[in-house]
Amino acid sequence: MKLPFRKTEAIESPYSIEVKELTKCFGSFTAVDHISFQVKKGEIFGFLGANGAGKTTTIRMLCSLLMPTSGQATIAGYDLATQHKMIKRNIGYMSQKFSLYDDLTVFENMQMFGTIYNIPRKELKERIASSLEMLNLQDQAKTLVYSIPLGWKQKLAFATAILHRPKIVFLDEPTSGVDPIVRREFWDLIYAAASKGVTIFVTTHYMDEAEYCGRISIMSNGQLKLIGTPSELKERMGVDSIEQVFVKFVER
Amino acid sequence: MRVILILIKKEFLQVFRNSLLWKILLLAPLAEFLLFPYTADYEIKNVHVAFIDHDKSTLTADIQSKFSASPYFINHGDIASKQEADQMMKNDEIDFIIEFPDQFENAIVRQEQTKILITANAINTVKAGLGSEYVQTVLGNYFTDLGEQALQMSAVPLSALNTTAESSGEAQEMTASVLSHTPQAQLVTTHVYWFNEQMNYQNLIVPGLLIILVTLIGAYVTALNIVREKEIGTIEQVNVTPIKKWQFLLGKMIPFWILGMVEFGAGLVIMKLMFGITIQGSLLLLLGLTSVYLLVMLGLGFFISSMANNQLQAMFIVFFLFILFVMLSGVFTPIEGMPDWAQYINYANPMSFFMSALKTIILKGSTIENIRHQFIVLSVMAVVLNTAALLSYRDKAK
């Protein structure tokens, strides 16, 4: 007999994320209220919403860091309820708060996480070298992370999150607090990863960033209110920018 | 295996880069060993004593000179009036007043009953209690040496002294009577203290310190380390990886186990070099016992870390348990003196089992046969606590 949580086969599907009626309650407060959506493979999916709308709670459930109250989800073809070990192997996650080890060097952080993902030693070295080159951080490999600027830290966190070549990467407000130049560079990294077929699930506050996404959704009070491509949403609301869509939507 | 190795490496890098932590790990034991054994000495020296001598005879002068000669007493000499002596005691200048009645010497020579009044300042009950014993010993020796009279002290007033003294905080009086008898053969008691012949308190205190050291590293450092990772969020970055719980557990425990053993080893070296205490039993057995005890403490620290959300909470829980363990463990006070219920609680106290086994290995040279019981209990505790730690560790929030 095969125990359900030992199952390692993935379901074939054109979607890399499928969410059905996902709900999270903290006591009497419903943080995420029966949301359903699909994200296609290789898509850049923008997850918008005001503070406290339930974005982070959703991401944490999808990353198997938080137990859902009810509902189902399939991540990279694996069932969230029963196959979380397989899900973890196939996703990368970058939390809202920078959470690599401050007292380790850039290289040590990447080496540690890469090793946990069981990337072979030699291969890992090569991947770290090419990541650092891509980030232009070669000279900082032996620098302790706490001493590098926030923008670099965010890029480093992203590079670490995709070091094990995940199928999906979840980014929770990756660009909050960084300057416009780094933000542009960060989006270049996102595009580079997406062009290799990685599905990007990204939350953001910045409406200009929403324009870069393939599709976006807007969340409010735990519910998913709107979903579509940026141009669809603009057309539907009869405005010329996502910012206006957002404002109009919030005013309603 | 590779995963655990990288986690161990990470932990050591962090410990050595955290300049404060590793200075504490290095200096704390040293400070403990340098200070504690000298402060926690149960022996009382410098007992201040004064006399009110109504007799002013050769005999009383001779007795007074005995106190001057004793290293335990500081003799303030003959005080003219009782008022003055009382005032000195109120000012905390003297601890004991010894009052000889008029015609004391004559009474002794005539072998009549006479009394010496000993007044003790019982604000410090330990000093009063031990001091009275010293006073009685000096007087007793004197009269024994005199070879004519046996001095017998009534034991009753001493216990009365302790109880009333606590409530009033004032000086209490006690009476000692010199009973005159015809010279007769005396029973002289002598003691031989096995395994600690000089009754050296350091022989008890120093092993106790070793235990405190190991406990602190095991429970405190582990619990705080993990909770700190919770606070700064790094644990979530680890939890999102496919790491297994036991890998995470071992990655935390092995480094702190090594640190704990190194500290223990350093403690043993200090014990030998500074206090000249030689381990009578097998060093290997001692290390084996300690490593099991460390596992118990690491498991406890890990378990606490999964209950606590921040370092403050973890500190309070560990501190509370630590005090409880120490008080019940027999590290500083004998377990035999505790009430039965306290001794029952001790069956759940790992420190108590470790203390009794460690003491006997170091001082008595016990072998595995002698401490099998403690070894088994500690092993069971290690298994239970680490299983609890593993089960209670959540890589997923509720």
What's the per-residue H, E or C state across B98-132? EEECCCHHHHHHCCCCEEEEEEECCCCHHHHHHHH
Q: Taking Cα atoms as reference points, which of A46, A95, A34, A116 lies closest to residue B244? A: A116
List CB contacts (< 8 A) between A89 and chain B. 242
Distance of CA B138 to the CA centre of its chain: 27
Same domain, B208 and B97: no
Q: For the residues B194-206, what does the mean pLDDT come to?
A: 65
Give the rounded percent of residues in chain A with a pLDDT score beyond 90: 69
Question: Does residue B186 fall inside a structural domain?
Answer: no
- Which percentage of chain B shows pLDDT scores above 70? 84
Q: Please give the DSSP secondary-structure letter assigned to residue B40.
A: S
Residue A35, classed as helix, strand or coil, is strand
Structurally, chain B folds into a number of domains equal to: 2
Indicate if B343 and B205 belong to the same structural domain. yes
- Banded model confidence at residue B91, pLDDT cuts 50, 70, 90: confident
Nearest to A95 among B9, B236, B398 (CB): B236
The answer on B165 and B59 residing in a single domain is yes
What string of DSSP letters covers B151-201?
A: ----SHHHHHHHHHHHHH-S-EEEEEEE---------------TTSTT--T
Mark residue B261 as left, alpha or beta (left: phi above 0; alpha: psi -120 to 50; beta: remaining). Answer: alpha
Question: Is residue B372 helix, strand or coil?
Answer: helix
| Number of other CB atoms surrounding residue B16 within 10 Å | 12
CATH code for position B87: 3.40.1710.10
Tell whether B267 and B343 lie within a shared domain: yes
- B119 and B240 in a single domain? The answer is no
Q: How far is A186 from chain B (nearest CA, A)?
A: 20
Least confident of A1-10, A51-60, A183-192, B146-155: B146-155
Contact criterion met (CB < 8 Å) for A66 and B396? yes
Interface contact flag, B398 A67, Cβ < 8 Å: yes
Residue to test with chain B: of A8, A99, A142, most B Cβ within 10 A:
A99
- Domain range holding B102? 47-178
Q: Are residues B272 and B380 in the same domain?
A: yes
| Judgement on whether residues B13 and B137 belong to the same structural domain of the protein | no
pLDDT tier, B207 (very low <50, low <70, confident <90, very high otherwise): confident
* A210 and A182 Cβ atoms separated by less than 8 Å: no
Strongest mean pLDDT among A32-36, B46-50, B336-340? A32-36
Indicate if B222 and B298 belong to the same structural domain.
yes
pLDDT at A4: 52
The answer to whether residue B194 is domain-embedded is no
Q: In the predicted model, what is the mean pLDDT of residues B125-147? A: 77
Mean per-residue pLDDT for A78-82?
93
DSSP characters for A102-117? Answer: TTSBHHHHHHHHHHHT
**Band of pLDDT at residue B42, cut at 50, 70 and 90:** low
Say whether B150 sits in a helix, a strand or coil. coil
pLDDT at B140: 79
User: What's the token pair of residue B232?
Assistant: 């700064």
On whether the CB atoms of residues B95 and B161 are closer than 8 A, the answer is no
Residue B151 lies in a domain: yes
Q: Are B236 and B327 in contact (CB under 8 A)?
A: no
Task: Out of A116-125, B2-11, B52-61, pick the least confident.
Answer: B52-61
Mean pLDDT for chain B overall: 81
Residue A71 sits in a domain whose CATH number is 3.40.50.300
Structure token pair of residue B100: 């000889």
Structure tokens at B216: 């602190």
pLDDT of residue B155: 35
pLDDT band at B179 (very low <50, low <70, confident <90, very high): very low
- Structure ipTM: 0.90
CA A215 distance to own-chain centroid: 14
User: A180-195 vs A121-135: helix axis angle to the nearest 10?
Assistant: 140
**A9-62 pLDDT, tens digit each:** 777 888 999 999 999 999 999 999 999 999 999 999 999 988 888 999 999 999
- Taking a C-beta distance cutoff of 8 angstroms, is the pair A76, A168 a contact? yes
CA A182 to chain B, closest CA, distance in angstroms equals: 23
Total domains in the fold of chain A: 1
- Encoding tokens for residue A26? 């903290």
The dihedral through the CA atoms of A114, A120, A125, A126 has a sign that is negative
Between CA B143 and CA B150 the distance in angstroms is 6
Average pLDDT, chain A: 90
User: Hey, which of A214-218, B67-71, B367-371 has the most confident mean pLDDT?
Assistant: A214-218
By residue range, what is the domain housing residue A50?
4-251
The pLDDT assigned to B40 comes to 62
Residue whose entry in the numeric block shows the structure tokens 């239970």: B384
**Is there a contact between B360 and B371 (Cβ–Cβ < 8 Å)?**
yes
Taken as a whole, chain B contains a residue count of: 398
- Cα B357 to Cα B169: distance, rounded to the nearest angstrom: 40
Tell me the helix, strand and coil percentages in chain B, rounded to 5: 65, 10, 25
Contact B241 A116 (CB under 8 A): yes
- What pLDDT sits at residue B170? 38
User: Tokens 């007033």 label which residue?
Assistant: B157
**Helix, coil or strand: residue B283:** helix
Residues B86 and B227 in one domain: no
- Rounded Cα distance, A237 and B18, in Å: 55
Strand partners, B120: B96, B172
Q: For A116, name the nearest residue in chain B, comparing CA atoms only.
A: B3
Inside any domain, residue B193: no
**Among A65, A67, A89, whose Cβ lies nearest the Cβ of B239?**
A65
Same-domain check for residues B126 and B213:
no
- Among A8-17, A206-215, B348-357, B364-373, the range scoring the smallest mean pLDDT is A8-17
Asked if A44 contacts A190 with a C-beta cutoff of 8 angstroms, the reply is: yes
B102 alpha-carbon distance from chain centroid: 45
Element (H, E) at A202: strand A199-204
Residues B123 and B96: beta-carbon distance below 8 Å:
no
Residue B105 identity: E
Q: Please indicate whether residue B200 or residue A104 has the higher confidence score (pLDDT).
A: A104
| Pairwise CA distance, residues A159 & A198, whole Å | 13
Q: For residue range B256-313, what is the model confidence (pLDDT) as tens digits? A: 999 999 989 988 988 888 888 888 889 999 999 999 999 999 999 999 998 898 999 9
**B241 and B206 in one domain?**
yes
Q: Percent of chain B, pLDDT > 90? A: 31
In a domain, B164, yes or no: yes
- Are A99 and B239 in contact (CB < 8 Å)? no
pLDDT score for B183 = 40
Local structure of B136: helix, strand or coil: helix
Instruction: Give the B window 6-65 contacts with A, CB below 8 Å.
Output: 6-7, 9-10, 13-14, 17-18
User: What integer pLDDT is reported at residue B101 of this predicted model?
Assistant: 87
Check residue B374 and give its pLDDT: 93
- Out of A133-147, B87-101, B158-172, pick the least confident: B158-172
Name the token pair of B152: 């017998």
| CB-based contacts of B54, cutoff 8 Å, min separation 6 | B99, B100, B101, B102, B104
For tokens 């001794």, name the residue: B343
Distance from CA of B14 to the nearest CA of A (A): 6
- Name the strands in the sheet holding A223-228, side by side, starting at the edge strand that comes first in the sequence: A91-94, A168-172, A199-204, A44-49, A215-220, A223-228
Greater pLDDT, B139 or A186? A186
Task: Tell me the count of A-B CB pairs closer than 8 A.
Answer: 73
Closest CA to B160 of B143, B174, B181: B174
| Token pair of A208 as six digits | 């200009």
B378 & B238 share domain = yes
pLDDT score at B41: 62
